[in-house]
Amino acid sequence: MRSTPSPRGIWTVPGTAITVAAALVSLFSLVPLGFVAVVTVQTGWPTVAALVFRPRVGELLLNTVLLVACTVPLCIGLAVALAWLTERSDLPGSRLWAWLAVAPLSVPAFVHSYAWTTLVPGLHGLPAGVLISVAAYFAFLYLPIAAAMRRLDPALEDAAASLGLPPWRVFGRVVLPQLRLAICGGSLLVGLHLLAEYGLYGMVRFDTFTTAIVDQFQSSYNGPAANMLAGVLVACCLGLLALETWVRGGARYARVGSGAARAPARFRLGRATTACLLLPALVAAVTLGVPLVTLARWLVRGGAGVWRASEIGPALGQTLLLATAGGVLTTLASIPMAWLSVRAPGRLQRAVEAENYVVGSLPGVVVALALVTVTVRVAMPIYQTIVTILLAYALLFLPRAMLSLRASIAQAPVELEQAAAALGRPPGRALWATTIRLGAPGAAAGLALVSLGITNELTATMMLAPNGTQTLATMFWSYSAEIDYAAAAPYAAIMVLFALPLTWLLHAQSKRVAGR
Amino acid sequence: MTFLVLQSVSKRFGAVTALDDIRLSVPQGSRIAILGPSGSGKTTLLRVVAGFEPPDAGCITLAGDVLADGRAAMPAHRRGVGVVAQDGALFPHLSVRDNIGFGLQNGDAGRGGRVAELMRLVELDGAMLDRRPDELSGGQQQRVALARAMARQPRLMLLDEPFSALDTALRASTRRAVSNVLRHAGITTVLVTHDQAEALSFADQVAVMRDGRLLQVGTPQDVYFRPVNREVAEFLGDAIITAAELANGTAACALGPIPMDSGHQVGPGTVMLRPEQIHLAAIAGEPGVPSCSRPCVGEILEAEFAGAVCTYVVRMLHPGPGPAGPLVIRQPSNRLLDVGTTVRVTVTGKAHVFAGPD
Amino acid sequence: MKPRFSTVIGLLALAVAWVGGPVRAHAQGAPASSAGEAITVYNAQHTSLTKAWADAFTGETGIKVTLRNGSDTELGNQIVQEGAASPADVFLTENSPAMALVDNAELFAPLPADLLERVPAAFRPSSGHWVGIAARSTVFVYNKAKLAPEQLPASILDLAGPAWKGRWGASPAGADFQAIVSAMLELKGEAATLAWLKAMKANSVAYRGNGTVLKAVNAGQSDGGVIYHYYYFGDQAKTGENSGNAALHYFRGEDPGAFVSISGGGVLATSRHKEQALAFLKWIVGKGGQDILRAGDSFEYAVGTGAASNPALVPLSELQAPKVDAAKLNSKKVTELMTRAGLL
């Protein structure tokens, strides 16, 4: 059982096993990309060209680009303004506003859309898509930007002031550049959601690649037109990833020097306080008020009749089963990669990790299309089983689990593993007794986030779930598609209630990471 | 000619009084060190002068310009005051070049030349211009921070413990370099530090601060040899403090009669000596009674070797007036003395008499 | 309690098995394997209607019914892809093209005569491989405030004209509308249909779902829309909030727009529970199933021999529908043409 010790000392038996496990997970996660490549080759160039280079694709591309180009800057502006107000000014009730800024995440995107279409029936197209997208997703930018603002060293702003910069220029030249990483990361997340979302745009008649793929799927199952649209959508996602990498550049904003940062002084708003309160109040009204009030209105109108226990019970049970099993599977699958990225970083590990992020950025509809095709053609035994849908969830949500887990493994120093080994534990048990134990909170947080994602997942669930499966999300969707908004309301309400504690966790986690 | 003047400056944070009626004047071109333990309010003093915090009360003027009068304060960016923070506070997203040029006008044609000149001034290699702050050593970061602060030719330079994050060897050399640059440029400087050696070696004037109040302001020699009380004395270095009977310019104490530095006090008092004024010598070949009967003789109870210096605990065999426990005396360790050795204690120079009751 | 590493691995394996276990059972149509007491239905009909059928059927026979819901052509294509391995026992649609799709792939089992007899020949294909289970009529729904009766289009083909630009809507991604197009294709040919679809792309507003079209017309966002009749009657029977300002216009005169679409039901040749599957289909076209059409809230036409439809509806015989052979409706061609027209 002897193995050659390496300088890092990871090539122990579990080290090798973990590497092999990580490699297997990565290989599997190549399935969707491989699917797009294989299908493109199989379809043949003339058909591909006919299906890709047509006006409809141009239309969808234009829609998608406009959606991203309008939504992301609006989200950035709003998130920066709110983060500054809640973190750096003496806005009354800033802790409450901070929580209210994150809370919209507990409302699934298609429920936002449901609320707006019933409030303003004529709302449709790009303006509707942008408005609702901002409401549904701006918190993805608010979270990292607020965290980065909390972490900023106020000494830098003092230094800039002493170098003759008035406050607004200090913000532009010192604060904003340091938010760049947070802005880039958050924008990427928002952008990927914009590309992947189906329900939100389906309801407001705004066509994106994802809605078009679902339309094609409903017309012809996994026909070549759907597959080719999926190919273009994958290209869009990769483009977004490349854009983010390029904008982010080689920026590393490690805090230079030592010593604890002084708690930043809060800017006194003075007479502007009332005006400044309007912004978070307006945002809360749009992002929380509209969905919650609309939901409440439909619940009241539906009365007790819409709480059909015979339908809601099974949907709730199946959602819980899928969310739990999917969360566990995804977290388990993320352990090897997370461990390697902390304990044995290297070029290969980085490449493999990057690949996982690329796959994790793919929309549910693409992953579902790939798994439908692969299972129906070559893996019939798992076709239409819970295994396939769980694998799809794992592919979709692996990065979420990995990020949480990696952060907590990083806090468990390798010395602990070595100490356990020195106390006579064999490597596997040493790993279990130290790092895995200490990583448990991170794993739990990751599991919760994955479960939240699964609860709100619509497209992959509709396309892949076993016969007879109805989740809260699919029930909500089929009722609202039949314009039975009152019957859909209980499902939305349960989803929101589910997500609230998880969103709170997300909020708390981002604060802890920021060290406050 | 006074340049920076603080008149009755006060600042509170909730229940904590950070600055309590601070009065200070700093002549143009001079260097003053604000010395105090952590929590003494010294950094707050610096932040109030820099304009990062407004004072609650009091007036600050710089070359006749009012920087702050009560809560009405000129914002930091209009003061023309340079600041070097504890860890340099370099902008992590900018290169060395852009850090140094940060305060200069962007379109300024002379910007490149000025940056190069500042690099030379702080003795940094021009090859570093394109590096990021996290690629520099701590000492280099501090030099860049100094160059950045000097770029705008500030009227006043504030240094907030700029050397404390550096390791011992680097600290001394960086301090000398910074000191030379500032002296050469003739910039009035305020240094905030908790390190007495740093304060004494750097400044023309040392202000000792504690609990938000200035205890003493004076030249380094003044505060070191003539501290106003025991607290200042001990903060500035090792001190042998003992009770004495004062008369005719002489303090009679456990170490024998020692000339006083001020001749007019009479009666019981407290005197202070610095360890370098004291010399211990073994009384060899004179074992027994005779030596013991002489006044300035003691016995070594403990000895602790620590390289260049050795710390002895000495019990005087004929204690003088007042309570006198064993004395702790540090001596160069070129002649080591064993425990139990009888030593003669010789004092050079004068004993400092504390003005008030100790 | 210090778990050993191997114990932990064992537990993980158990957990995976636990997750995977029910799964396998599900794959084979879980309860089915127990005593042949359950069937899997690929259902493209409205979930509420099929659920009403299934619940009543299960109540009478004890045979459990598991639904997989989807749209006509999605599920039809899915069955074709699955081939012999398909877990489906019964396939129910809203329209005929998907039935034709599966029938052309020779995946349906022939139906016994006593089942076929329950549906008049007009509502089933000559092959006898599937039967009509319900029917729906194409209508032009319009906003009474926006259009006077004399302004209504005489033919669905008129909607391609410039006068209708931006004034009407439909749900082109839905199987319902695609069935109407398949009838047009059958009646007017490929070139005319493609030209009409291209004009539609320019003229119409694409909504998602017929109910949404009705709602938009009612709210005045579009003057009119092409949908099926029962959305209007269903809403009228409930609250009328989405149809109060709207009225229906039947094209009649054997216009492609007067197309009556037959919802189909068939039993898969590969079904492992053929007996139960046939029983379910027979029940649907029998008195029990057809009564649910008449008395329930679906407002689809009943097609069983001698079965009456809901009295609120315009009788089927008065609709002057064009004669179209349901077996010839070509969904693949329709999808292709609509993709070419940029509607998909």
Check A383 against C174: CB less than 8 A apart.
Answer: no
Residue C164: the pLDDT is 95
For residue A481, which residues of chain C lie inside 8 Å, CB to CB? 208-209, 211
Say yes or no to pLDDT of A109 above 70: yes
> How many angstroms separate the Cα of A443 from the Cα of each of A334, A349, A418, A516, C284?
9, 20, 22, 21, 51
Mean pLDDT of chain C: 88
pLDDT, average across residues A378-401: 89
Residue A21: the pLDDT is 86
Q: Go through the domains of chain C in sequence order and give each one's CATH number.
A: 35-134+262-314 (3.40.190.10), 136-259+331-340 (3.40.190.10)
Q: Which of A218-227, B164-173, B306-315 has the highest mean pLDDT?
A: B306-315
Beta bridge partners of C69: C43
- For B69, counting Cβ atoms within 10 Å of its Cβ (0-12 exposed, 13-18 middle, 19+ buried), the class is middle
User: Bigger pLDDT: C13 or C136?
Assistant: C136
Cα C341 to Cα A225: distance, rounded to the nearest angstrom = 13
- Per-residue pLDDT reduced to its tens digit, B72-129: 889 989 898 999 988 888 888 889 999 999 888 776 678 888 899 899 888 889 899 9
- Per-residue pLDDT reduced to its tens digit, C270-327: 999 999 999 999 999 999 999 999 998 899 999 999 899 999 999 999 999 999 888 8
Q: Does A278 touch chain B (CB under 8 A)?
A: no
DSSP code of residue B101: G
> Which residue from C19, C29, C209 is facing A325, i.e. has the nearest CB?
C19
Structure-token pair, residue A55: 């006006």
DSSP strand pairing (B297-306 vs B342-347): antiparallel
Q: Are B8 and B58 in contact (CB under 8 A)?
A: yes
Q: What angle do CA C16, C22, C23 make, to 5 degrees?
A: 80
CATH code 3.40.50.300 region(s) in chain B:
2-230
- Per-residue pLDDT reduced to its tens digit, A4-40: 444 444 445 567 888 888 888 888 888 888 888 888 8
Residue type, C300: E
Please indicate whether chains C and B are in contact, defined as at least 3 beta carbon pairs under 8 Å: no
Check A433 against C85: CB less than 8 A apart.
Answer: no
Residue A253: the pLDDT is 56
Nearest CA distance, B121 vs chain A (angstrom): 18
Q: What percent of chain C has pLDDT over 90?
A: 73
Residue A254: the pLDDT is 54
Q: Are A427 and A421 in contact (CB under 8 A)?
A: yes
The subunits that touch chain C, with at least 3 C-beta pairs less than 8 Å apart, are A
Residue B103: the pLDDT is 86
Nearest CA distance, B7 vs chain A (angstrom): 22
Give the pLDDT band (50/70/90) at residue B284.
low
For residue A384, give every residue at least 6 positions away whose Cβ sits within 8 Å of its Cβ, in sequence order, or none. Answer: A375, A464, A466, A467, C26, C27, C87
For residue C74, which residues of chain A lie inside 8 Å, CB to CB? 217-221
Residue B322: the pLDDT is 56
User: Bigger pLDDT: A299 or A446?
Assistant: A299
Q: Are C75 and C42 in contact (CB under 8 A)?
A: yes
> Which residue from C48, C74, C221 is facing A221, i.e. has the nearest CB?
C74
pLDDT, average across residues A421-446: 80
Give the pLDDT band (50/70/90) at residue C30.
very low
DSSP strand pairing (C131-143 vs C246-249): antiparallel
- Per-residue pLDDT reduced to its tens digit, B194-251: 999 899 989 999 999 999 999 999 999 999 999 999 899 999 988 888 888 888 888 8
Q: Does A376 touch chain C (CB under 8 A)?
A: yes
Say yes or no to pLDDT of C16 above 60: no
For residue A286, give every residue at least 6 positions away whose Cβ sits within 8 Å of its Cβ, in sequence order, or none. Answer: A131, A135
Check B92 against A155: CB less than 8 A apart.
Answer: no
DSSP code of residue C313: S
Say yes or no to pLDDT of A266 above 70: yes
Residue A329, number of CB atoms within 10 A of its CB: 24
Say yes or no to pLDDT of A1 above 60: no
Q: Does A381 touch chain C (CB under 8 A)?
A: yes
> Which residue from B77, B133, B145 is facing A166, i.e. has the nearest CB?
B77
Cα A91 to Cα A274: distance, rounded to the nearest angstrom = 9
Residue B291: the pLDDT is 43
**Residue in C7, C48, C29 with CA at minimum distance from that of residue C234:** C48
User: Bigger pLDDT: A265 or C343?
Assistant: C343
Q: Does A313 touch chain B (CB under 8 A)?
A: no
Residue A351: the pLDDT is 81
pLDDT, average across residues A506-510: 78
Check A203 against C208: CB less than 8 A apart.
Answer: yes
Q: Phi then psi for A330, rounded to 5 degrees? A: -65, -40
Say yes or no to pLDDT of B289 above 50: no
Structure-token pair, residue A385: 């089983």
Mean pLDDT of chain A: 86
Taking each helix axis from N to C end, the angle separating C72-82 and C175-188, rounded to the nearest 10 degrees, works out to: 80
Q: Does C78 touch chain A (CB under 8 A)?
A: yes
Q: Does A258 touch chain B (CB under 8 A)?
A: yes
Give the pLDDT band (50/70/90) at residue B306.
confident
- Per-residue pLDDT reduced to its tens digit, A271-321: 899 999 999 999 999 999 999 999 999 999 888 888 988 889 999 999 999
Structure-token pair, residue B44: 């707050």
User: Bigger pLDDT: B29 or C238?
Assistant: B29
For residue B151, which residues of chain A lie inside 8 Å, CB to CB? 163
Residue C252: the pLDDT is 92
**Residue in B103, B145, B89 with CA at minimum distance from that of residue A156:** B89
Residue B55: the pLDDT is 94
Token pair 């980085």: residue: A350
Give the pLDDT band (50/70/90) at residue C36.
low
> Which residue from A161, A162, A177 is facing B93, i.e. has the nearest CB?
A177
Nearest CA distance, A63 vs chain C (angstrom): 14
- Separation of CA C124 from chain center: 15
- Per-residue pLDDT reduced to its tens digit, B28-69: 999 999 999 988 999 999 999 999 889 999 999 999 999 999
Residue A484: the pLDDT is 85
- Chain B residue whose CA is closest to A181: B93
DSSP track, A92-108: TTHHHHHHHHHGGGGS-
Cα B60 to Cα B70: distance, rounded to the nearest angstrom = 9
Cα A31 to Cα A367: distance, rounded to the nearest angstrom = 8
Q: Phi then psi for A383, rounded to 5 degrees? A: -60, 135
Residue C268: the pLDDT is 96
Question: Above 0.85 for ipTM, yes or no?
Answer: no
DSSP helix/strand/coil, B228 = coil
Q: Does A122 touch chain C (CB under 8 A)?
A: yes
> Which residue from B77, B103, B165 is facing A258, i.e. has the nearest CB?
B165
> Which residue from B87, B93, B103 is facing A163, i.e. has the nearest CB?
B103
Residue A222: the pLDDT is 73
For residue B111, which residues of chain A lie inside 8 Å, CB to CB? none
DSSP track, B13-24: ETTEEEEEEEEE
| Residue to test with chain B: of A153, A162, A168, A169, most B Cβ within 10 A | A162
Mean pLDDT of chain B: 86
Q: Are A51 and A40 in contact (CB under 8 A)?
A: no
CATH, domain B238-353, list 2.40.30.170, 3.40.50.1970, 2.40.50.140, 3.40.30.10: 2.40.50.140
Give the pLDDT band (50/70/90) at residue C22.
very low
Structure-token pair, residue A434: 């130290």
pTM of the model: 0.82
- Per-residue pLDDT reduced to its tens digit, B19-33: 999 999 999 999 999
DSSP helix/strand/coil, C333 = helix
CATH code 2.40.50.140 region(s) in chain B:
238-353
Q: Which CATH superfamily is domain B2-230 in?
A: P-loop containing nucleotide triphosphate hydrolases (3.40.50.300)
The subunits that touch chain A, with at least 3 C-beta pairs less than 8 Å apart, are B, C
Q: Does C105 touch chain A (CB under 8 A)?
A: no
Cα B79 to Cα B75: distance, rounded to the nearest angstrom = 7
Give the pLDDT band (50/70/90) at residue B295.
low
**Residue in A70, A154, A497 with CA at minimum distance from that of residue A292:** A497
Taking each helix axis from N to C end, the angle separating A224-248 and A347-360, rounded to the nearest 10 degrees, works out to: 130
Beta bridge partners of C169: C205, C225
> How many angstroms separate the Cα of A206 from the Cα of each of A217, A309, B306, C206?
17, 34, 79, 9
Q: What percent of chain A has pLDDT over 70?
A: 94
Residue A2: the pLDDT is 42
Q: Which of A65-74, A370-379, B170-179 has the highest mean pLDDT?
A: A65-74
Check B93 against A258: CB less than 8 A apart.
Answer: no
- Chain A residue whose CA is closest to B43: A262
Sequence length of chain B is 358
